[in-house]
Amino acid sequence: MNILIIGGGGVVGQKLAQALVKSGMLRGQAITRITLADVVDPAPVAAPFEIRTMICDIADPASVAECVSKDTDVIYLLAAIVSAHAEEDFDAGMKINLFGTYNVLERCRALGTSPVVVFTSSIAVYGGEAQDPLGDHSFPNPQTSYGMQKAAGELFINDYSRKGFIDGRAFRLPTISVRPGKPNRAASSFMSSILREPLNGQEAVCPVDADFLHYYLSPRRCVDNLIKGAELAGDDIGQNRVMQMPGTSLSIKQLIDAMTAVAGPEPAKLIRWDAQPDIKKIVSGWRWDIHADKAERLGLKADDSFEDNIRYYLEDDKPAA
Amino acid sequence: MNILIIGGGGVVGQKLAQALVKSGMLRGQAITRITLADVVDPAPVAAPFEIRTMICDIADPASVAECVSKDTDVIYLLAAIVSAHAEEDFDAGMKINLFGTYNVLERCRALGTSPVVVFTSSIAVYGGEAQDPLGDHSFPNPQTSYGMQKAAGELFINDYSRKGFIDGRAFRLPTISVRPGKPNRAASSFMSSILREPLNGQEAVCPVDADFLHYYLSPRRCVDNLIKGAELAGDDIGQNRVMQMPGTSLSIKQLIDAMTAVAGPEPAKLIRWDAQPDIKKIVSGWRWDIHADKAERLGLKADDSFEDNIRYYLEDDKPAA
């Protein structure tokens, strides 16, 4: 079992690799190699089998051809230009999120090996005139270019799977929180930083109101779901290979209350409330009344409570003092 | 008012040009030029203003740049590789239907003129696990590559409009019947030929059963709707620039009964019933429980009865004996 993680240098890619190493198996077979590919050389992970790291620019078909090979069994396609960045730089978003996805799928088609492809879409596909409640059967009317590019990627995954070019499955990720590391250019970045920075003893800015509702999943549970997602049999998924990954709808206040319940009252005092119209404009187009019926039926899971999300951060990610 | 029709050599493109010439006006302004662009040099139409014809390959950005210019006010983007052809030749479908659409929109973006773009999508975007009844709010789960490419084009139209690069609107065309001319490589081709050929005194083959249901619109009413579609104000359309164009759900038997009601009993005797599994496989994935709420609210219309579709063919298109 030969696994390629494109976007293997990112937070989810690294955690996924670690979880795969820990399990040693995927789809009932022993893992023999994991390749971590990213636009900057990804950090390797320790493993009792071969770990390769390589630079891959999915906007370049030749670069894609170097990392997707005849013996690649499972591809995780996690690489993306995130929301605020793709909104600001339309060309970059198209190049990576749309044509990059196309290049990976075209490489699979050219090889004729029909690998399993796990594509991470996003709840950013919902928006505009799509009617609540949202889920697997909603019309995608994204209000960001990032969401549009992800929705187009979903269409590719379905059609390439239908044609037998790949055995694809796409999951609309909830916003991942608590995300470790530094803020990024995702408009949702604050949804982790208002917890992460205070838990690390640092100040953070909350650009929206306390009653702002959103749909969340912990990195740990997201990785569990991505592994389960690769293991699903194509026939069990059906004609629509795209589904919502389970998450939980919560207000900013509920996130902070969970932090206080786990870590005491001090971290919440480090949050500075400072409305930011640019961020608000993007995220207010996002939606939260989201349901993941199909994925839940197939065994994927949301977190049990946001207290878990806080605990996972403290256990897995909090930097040593 | 300068109008460009890409796909101007096709049945709908030619009829649209004739109707625009007849009206002389679009969006409240006198038409000063119509350019008919197509992959083979389109036939000109007679007009009291300038008519240009030109060859355009939308797969080639340089060719697109030649026909979309700074003074283009309205673009009708009708050109496409049709369903059975795109299913058979995946690359051709992607090149024209997906990248061709992208090239036209990118040209508009580069010009910075935000022209009105009327894009013809299709009911082929429905399928798979999309739930009846279908319409503006359905999840597109197309079961052909043509449908996938059209659904991706819809996403582009919405996002390029949201960003202000174009003032777009996309209409999911019902199957156009009675279509004049020769059969084409659309899987739906028989839905016209079983009427057109008998009305011309020729034999035709029906590859599906008499109770096969589908969703139809006459060429004449389609053109009316495309003109109305260009005239809608963007603000009246809202955040979803994509909508179902009104049509009527009918069985093959109802089509034939309408033909008999208008033209007498002889034509129906020229239909030979011969099941064709390849065609049936494609069209049985298509859907008919379709509603066009938004377009109807905005003033677009279905035919009053299929007898009209037959009459329009006899009046507009039947070749002289």
CB contact under 8 A, A128 and B158: yes
CB contact under 8 A, A128 and B239: yes
pLDDT tens digits for chain B (321 residues)?
Answer: 999 999 999 999 999 999 999 999 999 999 999 999 999 999 999 999 999 999 999 999 999 999 999 999 999 999 999 888 999 999 999 999 999 999 999 999 999 999 999 999 999 999 999 999 999 999 999 999 999 999 999 999 999 999 999 999 999 999 999 999 888 878 889 999 999 999 999 999 999 999 999 999 999 999 999 999 999 999 999 999 999 999 999 999 999 999 999 999 999 999 999 998 888 887 887 899 999 999 999 999 999 999 999 999 999 999 987
pLDDT band at A280 (very low <50, low <70, confident <90, very high): confident
Taking alpha carbons only, the member of B49, B44, B41 closest to residue B2 is B49
pLDDT band at A162 (very low <50, low <70, confident <90, very high): very high
Q: Find residues 248-277 of chain A whose CB sits inside 8 Å of chain B.
A: none
The secondary structure element, H or E, covering residue A180 is none
Instruction: Give the model's pLDDT for residue A237.
Output: 98
Q: What is the ipTM of this complex?
A: 0.96
Mean pLDDT calculated for residue range A55-80: 98
- Asked if the C-beta of B141 comes within 8 angstroms of chain A's C-beta atoms, the answer is yes
A100: DSSP letter: I
Q: Is the pLDDT of residue A321 over 80?
A: no
Token pair belonging to A145:
């270019």
Instruction: Give the model's pLDDT for residue A279.
Output: 84
Catalytic residue IDs of A: 146
Q: Is the pLDDT of residue A88 over 80?
A: yes
State the CATH architecture for A187-214+248-288+304-316.
Alpha-Beta Complex (3.90)
Looking at the domain covering B2-174+217-244, what would its CATH class be?
alpha beta
What residues of B are in contact with residue A138 (Cβ under 8 Å)? Answer: 137, 139
CB contact under 8 A, A130 and B148: no
Instruction: Give the model's pLDDT for residue B264.
Output: 98
Q: Is the pLDDT of residue A223 over 90?
A: yes
Average pLDDT over all residues of chain A: 96
d(C-alpha B218, C-alpha B64), whole Å:
30
Q: Kindly list the domain boundaries of chain B, sorted by start residue.
A: 2-174+217-244
Q: Closest Cα of chain B to A145: distance in Å? A: 6
CB contact under 8 A, B141 and A158: yes
What residues of B are in contact with residue A156 (Cβ under 8 Å)? Answer: 148, 152
d(C-alpha A49, C-alpha A72), whole Å:
15
What residues of B are in contact with residue A158 (Cβ under 8 Å)? Answer: 128, 141-142, 148
Mean pLDDT calculated for residue range A223-252: 98
Instruction: Give the model's pLDDT for residue B187.
Output: 81
Q: Is the pLDDT of residue A114 over 90?
A: yes
B160 belongs to the catalytic site: no
- Asked if the C-beta of A136 comes within 8 angstroms of chain B's C-beta atoms, the answer is yes
- Asked if the C-beta of A238 comes within 8 angstroms of chain B's C-beta atoms, the answer is yes
Q: Is the pLDDT of residue A185 over 90?
A: no
Q: Testing the interface with B: which of A131, A143, A148, A244 to mutate, by most B Cβ within 10 A?
A: A148
Instruction: Give the model's pLDDT for residue A83.
Output: 82
3-state SS, residue A111: helix
Taking alpha carbons only, the member of A83, A84, A100 closest to residue A37 is A100
Instruction: Give the model's pLDDT for residue B5.
Output: 98
- Per the DSSP assignment, residues forming a β-bridge with B236 are none
Choosing from B76, B102, B146, B215, the catalytic residue is B146
